[in-house]
Amino acid sequence: MKWHQRALGACAAATVFAVMTPAAHADLTNGGFESGDFTGWTQTGDTSFSGVGSFAASAGSFGAFFGPTAAGGISQTFATVPNTTYDVSFSLSLIDSSQPNSFSWTWNGVAQSLSFTNAAGFAYRDLSASVLSTGASSTLAFTFVDPQSFWLLDNVSVSVAAVPEPPVTALLAAGLSLLLAAAKGRKKSRR
C-alpha cells in the first residue's frame, strides 16, 4: 500500500512540475523594425548610411538598411535561459553586387557560420540557425559593409528551439494509470 502512495505522490509531483515549469523564451525587441527606428537595438561601428525605412521592408511597414563604408551594424542584448537552445531567424537581402560588401553575425561574440563576402545581389531570403545560450542574457549582433549599395534586414526573431517534451496529457495519463493500479491493489487487499 505504501508503494502505491509513493508512486502516486511522485506522479503528482511530476505532473505539477511539467505544468508549472516556465517556458524559456527570448525578449528580443523590435525585430521587425516596426517602430520605424532602431528602438531596442544599439548601433555599432560605422553608422553612416544605415537606418530604417519602408523601402527596406520584407514584411510589415519597415525594415533596416545598411550601407556603411566600414564595418557597422546593430546589436541587442536580452534575457535568455542558460543552457537553452534558441532558434535565430531573420530575412536578409543585398540590393546589388557592387563590391566590396560583407555581412556577418554573432551570438554572444562568437561568429556564426552564415556570412557573405563580396556576394552577388539577392532578393530577401529567410535565414535561420540554432544557438546555445550560456547565461541569463545573450547578445545578437549583425555587421555589414557596403559602401556602394545596401544590405536589407527584417523579421529578426529569437525563439526557443523545439525540444521534444512529454505532453502534459501523457503525464496525466500515466498518473491515472497509477491511480487505477492503486485502486485495484486496494480491492485485492480488502478481500
pLDDT per residue as tens digits for the range 91-115 = 999 999 999 999 999 999 999 999 9
Residue 9: how many other CB atoms lie within 10 Å: 11
Angstrom distance (rounded) from CA 95 to CA 123: 7
Sign of CA dihedral 42, 44, 50, 55: negative
- CB of 121 closer than 8 Å to CB of 74: no
pLDDT, position 144: 98
pLDDT digits (tens, 9 = 90+) for 153-185: 999 999 998 755 555 555 555 655 665 566 666
pTM of the model: 0.75
Condensed to tens digits (0 to 9), the pLDDT of residues 27-51 reads 899 999 999 999 999 999 999 999 9
| Contact between 7 and 178 (Cβ < 8 Å) | yes
